[in-house]
């Protein structure tokens, strides 16, 4: 199906560009700042909402620009306080994002792509095609909407952001970086980059790029298997970004930034949960200046054949790592009763090409 043609996105115009544009229109320079404030501080959804601009200027702007805002479609509420949200993009696609409350944190789990191209065999999103990347302002909208939800339900702003929703953030690098810059800016949410974690399945080249760009946020690596043979079986990305390449890129990243690195490791019954698997994981941990290994309980999905191990197996696995002085933590999933837990975000029913016309 054909998409609606987009007008120019007003949020893609920088403040200096706005100032130049106002000069070309014969408008005073301060109009640019007013527009910028409407877009990024007042989160205007319509140019006609910018009431301190003249009607004539608003009419000029609406002929050329739009503000394609992300809209909240609906929310689901878990018994543990987690809120999963289906968000509708300007072209009719959907993504999911999650607000995760704990005693000390209010965390936004955001998506970076519609679908995913990596096809991990245990992840619901991995069974979708990648339709497109999210634009930087759409990612900012996700965070803004979740912040509003946090204020509404918990009377507090977000404390943390994790790029652990749908898609591979490092395959949408420019938009992810631009979104984080906006989120951390003083005229944005002013969030510290140290409270942001970007998760990757292991795109070695882009991990090195993070190092070159001297990013200040944390990095989480979805490992899930500690040998190439097993990782190839569940994560096709490992065939072109094997463990040696991944280890090299993580060391490069750490040497360039000194930022915290965390390994994420989902336990699958009779696949990666043996003591030999624990020893292989320990060996990878020793090769990287990782701060922590998060052991994650598997959340079953209809499309995958995996099961979660029993509690005794999990305890044995954890004990082996702890006894060998590995900093390890068991992370219990939140929002399982609404399919909001790790690996369950998909929007399968709404992932097809939207029915839009020119």
pLDDT tens series, the chain, 358 aa = 334 445 899 999 999 999 999 999 999 999 999 999 999 999 999 999 999 999 999 999 999 999 999 999 999 988 888 999 999 999 999 999 999 999 899 999 999 999 988 988 888 777 788 899 999 999 999 999 999 999 999 999 999 999 999 999 999 999 999 999 999 999 888 999 999 999 999 999 999 999 999 999 999 999 999 999 999 999 999 999 999 999 999 999 999 999 999 999 999 999 999 999 999 999 999 999 999 999 998 887 777 788 999 999 999 999 999 999 999 999 876 655 544 445 444 554 443 333 322 2
239 counts as catalytic: no
User: Total structural domains in the chain?
Assistant: 2
Q: State the catalytic residue, choosing from 19, 27, 96, 142.
A: 96
CATH number where 49 lies: 1.10.150.530
Q: State the catalytic residue, choosing from 109, 116, 123, 342.
A: 342
The dihedral formed by the CA atoms of 306, 307, 313 and 317, expressed in degrees to the nearest 10: 40
Query: Are both 193 and 310 inside the same structural domain?
Result: yes
pLDDT of residue 348: 43
Which of 51, 66, 81 terminates a domain? The answer is 66
With respect to residue 99, please indicate whether it lies within any of the assigned structural domains.
yes
Query: Are both 195 and 60 inside the same structural domain?
Result: no
* Both structure tokens of 228: 């190439």
Residues 6+ apart with CB under 8 A from 207: 170, 200, 219, 246, 249, 250, 252, 253
| Alpha carbon distance 34, 21 (integer Å) | 13
CATH number where 184 lies: 3.20.20.70
| Alpha carbon distance 188, 185 (integer Å) | 5
* Both structure tokens of 144: 């803004």
Which residue's structure tokens are 């951390």? 184
With respect to residue 355, please indicate whether it lies within any of the assigned structural domains.
no
Query: Are both 194 and 295 inside the same structural domain?
Result: yes
Task: Report which of 284, 270, 247 is spatially closest to residue 317, judged by C-alpha positions.
Answer: 270
With respect to residue 122, please indicate whether it lies within any of the assigned structural domains.
yes
96 counts as catalytic: yes
Q: Which residue range forms the structural domain that includes residue 157?
A: 71-350
pLDDT of residue 7: 83
């Amino acid at each position: 199906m054909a998409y609606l043609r987009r007008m120019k996105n007003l949020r893609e115009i920088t403040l200096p560009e706005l100032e130049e544009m106002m000069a070309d229109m014969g408008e005073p320079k301060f109009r640019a700042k007013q527009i910028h404030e409407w877009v990024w501080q007042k989160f205007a959804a319509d140019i006609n909402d910018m009431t301190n601009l003249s009607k004539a200027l608003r009419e000029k702007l609406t002929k050329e620009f739009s503000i394609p805002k992300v809209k909240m479609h609906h929310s689901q509420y878990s018994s543990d306080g987690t809120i999963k949200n289906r968000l509708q993009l300007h072209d009719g696609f959907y993504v999911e994002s999650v607000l995760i409350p704990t005693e000390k944190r209010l965390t936004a789990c955001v998506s970076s792509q519609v679908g995913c191209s990596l096809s991990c065999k245990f992840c619901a999103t991995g069974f979708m095609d990648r339709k497109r990347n999210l634009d930087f302002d759409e990612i900012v909208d996700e965070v803004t909407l979740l912040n509003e939800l946090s204020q509404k339900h918990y009377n507090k702003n977000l404390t943390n952001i994790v790029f652990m929703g749908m898609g591979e953030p490092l395959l949408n690098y420019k938009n992810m970086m631009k979104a984080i810059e906006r989120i951390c800016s003083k005229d944005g949410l002013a969030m510290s980059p140290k409270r942001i974690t970007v998760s990757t399945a292991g795109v070695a080249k882009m991990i090195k790029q993070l190092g070159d760009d001297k990013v200040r946020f944390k990095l989480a690596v979805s490992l899930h298997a500690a040998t190439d043979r097993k990782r190839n079986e569940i994560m096709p990305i490992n065939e072109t970004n094997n463990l040696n390449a991944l280890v090299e890129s993580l060391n490069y990243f750490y040497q360039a930034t000194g930022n915290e690195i965390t390994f994420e490791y989902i336990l699958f019954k009779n696949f990666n949960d043996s003591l030999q698997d624990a020893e292989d994981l320990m060996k990878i941990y020793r090769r990287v200046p990782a701060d922590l290994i998060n052991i994650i309980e598997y959340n079953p999905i209809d499309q995958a054949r995996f099961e979660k191990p029993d509690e005794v197996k999990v305890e044995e696995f954890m004990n082996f790592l702890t006894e060998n002085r590995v900093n390890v933590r068991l992370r219990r999933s939140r929002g399982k009763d609404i399919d909001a837990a790790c690996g369950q975000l998909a929007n399968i029913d709404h992932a097809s090409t939207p029915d839009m016309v020119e």
